[in-house]
Amino acid sequence: MMPYEEALSIVLSHCPILPTEKVCLLDALGRVLAEDVISEEDRPSFDNSAMDGYAVHWEDIKDAPVELLVVGELPAGAEETFELPRGCAVKIFTGAPIPKGATAVVPVEYTEAKNGKVLIKEAFKEGANIRRKGEELKAGEIVLQKGTILRHYEIGLLASLNKVQVEVSRRPRVAVLSTGDEIKDLGETITKPSQIRTSNGYTLMAGISLVGGEPHYLGIVPDEPDKLKKALSQLEDYDVFITTGGVSAGERDYIKTLVEEVGVKVHFHKVRIKPAKPILFGTYKEGKGLFFGIPGNPVSCAMAFDLIVKPALLKMQSAKDYMPKTLWAKLKRDFSRRDPERREFVRAVLSLEGQQLVCDYSPKLQSHMLTSYVGANCYMVVREGVKELKGGELVEVVLF
């Protein structure tokens, strides 16, 4: 069976690069920036106050306490039209321009106003509480690089640069097809105890949206070759096609045979990981389309998405940062397993205890138990050949 790294590297080496498009700023959330964004001006664009207080000549207050004459008031948005005379202070508000000559701002808490004068109670350093022109950005500087995944922080930053529209990679169009006679969709009546309410299609669609993809739900198809083949024949309409279920060893697991019949070139089937072992990967449309046959168990489905499909969707959008992130933490309790053949990705909670990152795994870990994700924020990695891990040991952790 193929090791995880090899499987992921095969998938990543087949990712086609999607074209780019211009979208309105808010539609860029979760998408990948396709241009270097440059600041057109210095930021801040003028020296301004970081505090509500009094702008002063630093030399006048260096031996505080001292009393100064108040010669005016500068709210945010005011024009700095005058020069501050020596021995005087001007009342100033956060964000207001610093008047010429002023070299420090004393916060209001360190002052006492009386009869047109102000008592400065403590000395401050030269330049204190002044935000300097250009200290954050210089005109012409690259603010955000091509390949950045746009979160709410970057959206705000782009807004501050007056970017009404931004160039991003086109969303991958991803088809999601669930398979299985026993699977019922939301709202459908369960008529027999052996029927199962779907989760996989929704796990996948939500995950696809979160990483900038455009999910297309093709519903649930029973384990009947004709119906499955008909659904699979829509491959060409999508950049990525994902099925869940019917991909392991059972007689009614038709996916592998059928995808080959509809022209998918299979690159691997079965990876040495737990869960999601029977995952299948192939390409179609002369390499322009990616096919993932994901196992039906709900945990296998979520985990295969996180560790194999998600990096691919990000890479197709030219994201710089598409690989899962690993760190090390101290294991809270012993962990053991019977069969150490596969690399296991165990749902776990990473937290900080004092100065130490600690990791504790979910109590119910079988691959049909989607509840093992509740509260979890990482996978604890149990490498091939490892049967047990001791509490207190450092363990490898992959962040969600």
Ligand X SMILES: Nc1nc2c(c(=O)[nH]1)N[C@H]1C(S)=C(S)[C@@H](COP(=O)(O)OP(=O)(O)OC[C@H]3O[C@@H](n4cnc5c(N)ncnc54)[C@H](O)[C@@H]3O)O[C@H]1N2
Q: Using CB under 6 A as the criterion, which residues of the chain lie in contact with ligand MOO when the complex forms?
A: 274-277, 295, 297, 300, 367
What is the spatial distance between Cα 148 and Cα 171, in angstroms, rounded to a whole number?
A: 14
Is residue 298 at the binding interface for ligand X, with CB under 6 A as the rule?
yes
What, of ligand X, ligand MOO, none, does residue 296 touch, CB below 5 to 8 Å by kind? ligand X
Candidates 277, 315, 343, 347; binder of ligand X (CB under 6 A) is 277
Check residue 161 for interaction with ligand X (CB under 6 A).
Answer: no
Which residue number, 212 or 278, has a Cβ lying nearer to ligand X? Answer: 278
The residue (of 103 and 178) whose beta carbon lies closer to ligand X is 178
Which residue, 48 or 203, is less far from ligand MOO as judged by CB? Answer: 203
Q: Of these partners, ligand MOO, ligand X, none, which one is at the site of residue 178 (CB under 5 to 8 Å by kind)? A: ligand X
Check residue 245 for interaction with ligand X (CB under 6 A).
Answer: yes
Residue (of 39, 44, 33) closest to 154 by Cα position: 33
Residue 266 site contact among ligand MOO, ligand X, none (CB < 5 to 8 Å, cut-off depends on kind)? none
Specify the residue for token string 């009869």.
Answer: 115
Reduced to 3 states (helix: H, G, I; strand: E, B; else coil), residue 108 is: helix
Task: Kindly state the tokens that stand for 217.
Answer: 């739900």
Under the binding rule (CB under 6 A), the answer on residue 178 touching ligand X is yes
Q: Are 234 and 175 in contact (CB under 8 A)?
A: yes
Cβ of residue 382: shortest distance to ligand MOO, in angstroms?
A: 13
Contact map string, positions 186 to 225, toward ligand X, x by CB under 6 A = ----------x-xxxx------------------------
Question: Can you read off the two tokens belonging to residue 313?
Answer: 């969707």
By a kind-dependent CB cut-off of 5 to 8 A, residue 246 interacts, out of ligand MOO, ligand X, none, with ligand X
371 beta partners: none
HSE-CB at 178 with a 13 A cutoff on CA atoms is 24
Q: What 3-state class would DSSP assign to 261?
A: helix
Q: Which of 20, 111, 244, 317 binds ligand X (CB under 6 A)?
A: 244
Q: Which of ligand X, ligand MOO, none interacts with 282 (beta carbon under 5 to 8 A by kind)?
A: none
CA atoms within 13 A on the CB side of 123: 9
Closest approach, Cβ 205 to ligand X, in A, equals: 11
Nearer to ligand MOO, 83 or 339 (CB): 339
The type of residue at 301 is: C
Q: What angle do CA 282, 307, 15 make, to 5 degrees?
A: 40
- In angstroms, what is the minimal distance from the CB of 177 to ligand X? 10
Q: How does DSSP classify residue 43?
A: B
Q: What distance in Å separates the CA atoms of residue 283 and residue 293, rounded to the nearest whole number?
A: 11
Residue 78 backbone phi and psi in degrees, to 5: -75, 155
Whole-angstrom Cα distance, residue 61 to residue 67?
9
3-state secondary structure of 248: coil
Specify the residue, 150 or 382, whose C-beta has the smaller distance to ligand X.
382
- Note whether 379 and 347 are within 8 A (CB): yes
Q: Binds 52, which of ligand MOO, ligand X, none (CB < 5 to 8 A, cut-off by type)?
A: none
Q: Contacts with ligand X: how many residues (CB under 6 A)?
A: 27
249 binds, among ligand MOO, ligand X, none (CB under 5 to 8 A by kind): ligand X
Interacting partner of 218 out of ligand MOO, ligand X, none (Cβ under 5 to 8 A depending on kind): none
What sign for the dihedral angle of Cα 343, 303, 257, 268? negative
Cα end-to-end distance, the chain, whole Å? 25
Looking at residues 352 to 371 of the shown chain, list those that interact with ligand X (rule: CB under 6 A).
Answer: 367-368
The residues of the shown chain that bind ligand X, judged by CB under 6 A, are 178, 180, 182-183, 196, 198-201, 244-250, 253, 275, 277-278, 295-298, 300, 367-368
